[in-house]
């Protein structure tokens, strides 16, 4: 078993959490009817774990705005889950964002995940809307002014790819917290020591808000390598070695993925971490297994007659409307 290098500042007092950890899940808005069926089957499977909240992403360039809205609405009204909507600066004016926040408020949504966001794929350079928000901290302040929302933001243990360095990125995180954010959810990482060093540096910079580790169970190693190049997450050599030769062995890949994520969470738990945010990629199997190994057992699901997956799937929504 690997041992964590003891290279932390130890700014954060360590106490071993009692009982199972708190958890939350991220889902992707479906792009087709088949994807919607898989999403709601995944939610059926994960709901009994009683997550603190679940979030729905927004799509590059805000491309899934209406699909995200309808998915969040159904999660809250039909699944009975505390749902959070992702919202970005990209492609929207301040007035449009204010109107969307009003719509969320009217349907009972009180939690927003505020991000600068990724530009559309055909225009990789970020350009703020002429009448919009340029930075996530500005968006947080706008959300705070619009209503009493709970606001989560992003944190980057290895630094945002466009940040000058990690210290400047932590300073940006502090601006988001100072603007009104209540927690930060980290980009995924694979070495627990990476998070622990980041947590201590953030504490040294005066950040006291919770920094919730983002956990990505690896379903497709090649895709994770590709995405990691874009988002700045390091792939440790030991992780590449574990997945080497498993391209045509999906069952062993699942076993390895569950082992890696479970060990990662256990290492963090030993350092006082008591909450995790899982990037599910709309799949339940790995997340279920990992949570079980962490001591979380599904509670009986009440009020889901036949399950959400058995209910009619809402019609596809044109994301350009509204």
Tokens standing for 284? 């339940």
Q: How far is CA 104 from CA 67, 72, 100, 108, in A?
A: 13, 9, 6, 6
**What pLDDT does residue 322 have?**
30
Catalytic choice (26, 70, 158, 271): 26
pTM, 2 dp? 0.87
**What pLDDT does residue 314 have?**
43
* d(C-alpha 239, C-alpha 242), whole Å: 5
Question: Can you give the pLDDT of all 322 residues of the chain as single tens digits?
Answer: 444 444 444 445 556 666 899 999 999 999 999 999 999 999 999 999 999 999 999 876 556 889 999 999 999 999 999 999 999 998 889 999 999 999 999 999 999 999 998 766 666 666 777 788 989 999 999 999 999 999 999 999 999 988 899 999 999 999 999 999 999 999 999 999 999 999 999 999 999 999 999 999 998 999 999 999 988 899 999 999 999 999 899 999 999 999 999 999 999 999 999 999 999 999 999 999 999 999 998 876 544 434 545 455 444 443 333 3
Active site residue 26: yes
**What pLDDT does residue 120 have?**
65
**What pLDDT does residue 14 have?**
58
**What pLDDT does residue 163 have?**
87
Spell out the SS3 assignment of the chain: CCCCCCCCCCCCCCCCCCCCCEEEEEECCCCCHHHHHHHHHHHHHHHHHCCCEEEECCCHHHCCHHHHHHHHHHHHHCCCCCEEEEEECCCCCHHHHHHHHHHHHHCCCCEEEEECCCCCCCCCCCCCCCCCCCCHHHHHHHHHHHCCCEEEEEECCCCCCCCCCHHHHHHHHHHHHHCCCCEEEECCCCCHHHHHHHHHHHHHCCCCCCEECEECCCCCHHHHHHHHHHHCCCCCHHHHHHHCCCCCCHHHHHHHHHHHHHHHHHHHHCCCCCEEEEECCCCCHHHHHHHHHCCCCCCCCCCCCCCHHHCCCCCCCCCCCC
Contact 242, 256 (CB under 8 A): yes
Q: What is the pLDDT of residues 172-219, one digit of tens each?
A: 999 999 999 999 999 999 999 999 999 999 999 999 999 999 999 998
């Amino acid at each position: 078993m690997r041992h964590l290098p003891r290279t932390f500042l130890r700014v954060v007092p360590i106490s071993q959490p009692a009982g199972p950890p708190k958890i939350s899940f991220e889902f992707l808005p479906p792009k087709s009817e088949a994807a919607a069926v898989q999403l709601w089957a995944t939610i059926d499977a994960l709901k009994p774990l009683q997550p603190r909240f679940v979030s729905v992403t927004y799509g590059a360039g805000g491309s899934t705005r209406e699909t995200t809205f309808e998915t969040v609405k159904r999660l809250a009204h039909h699944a009975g889950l505390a749902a959070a909507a992702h919202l970005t600066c990209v492609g929207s004016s301040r007035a449009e964002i204010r109107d969307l926040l009003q719509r969320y408020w009217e349907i009972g949504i009180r939690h927003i995940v505020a991000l600068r966001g990724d530009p559309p794929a055909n225009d990789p350079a970020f350009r703020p809307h002429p009448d919009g928000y340029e930075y996530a901290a500005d968006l947080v302040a706008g959300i705070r002014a619009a209503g009493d929302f709970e606001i989560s933001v992003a944190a980057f243990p290895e630094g945002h790819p466009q940040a000058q360095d990690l210290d400047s990125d932590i300073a940006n995180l502090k601006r988001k917290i100072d603007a009104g954010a209540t927690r930060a959810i980290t980009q995924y990482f694979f070495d627990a020591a990476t998070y622990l060093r980041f947590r201590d540096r953030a504490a040294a910079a005066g950040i006291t808000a919770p920094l919730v580790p983002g956990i990505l169970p690896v379903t497709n190693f090649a895709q994770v390598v590709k995405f990691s190049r874009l988002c700045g997450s390091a792939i440790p050599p030991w992780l590449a070695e574990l997945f080497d030769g498993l391209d045509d062995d999906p069952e062993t890949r699942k076993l390895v993925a569950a082992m890696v994520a479970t060990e990662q969470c256990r290492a963090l738990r030993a350092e006082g971490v008591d909450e995790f945010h899982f990037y599910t990629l709309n799949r339940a199997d790995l997340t279920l297994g990992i949570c079980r190994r962490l001591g979380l057992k599904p509670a009986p699901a009440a009020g889901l007659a036949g399950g959400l997956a058995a209910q009619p799937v809402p019609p596809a929504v044109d994301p350009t409307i509204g």
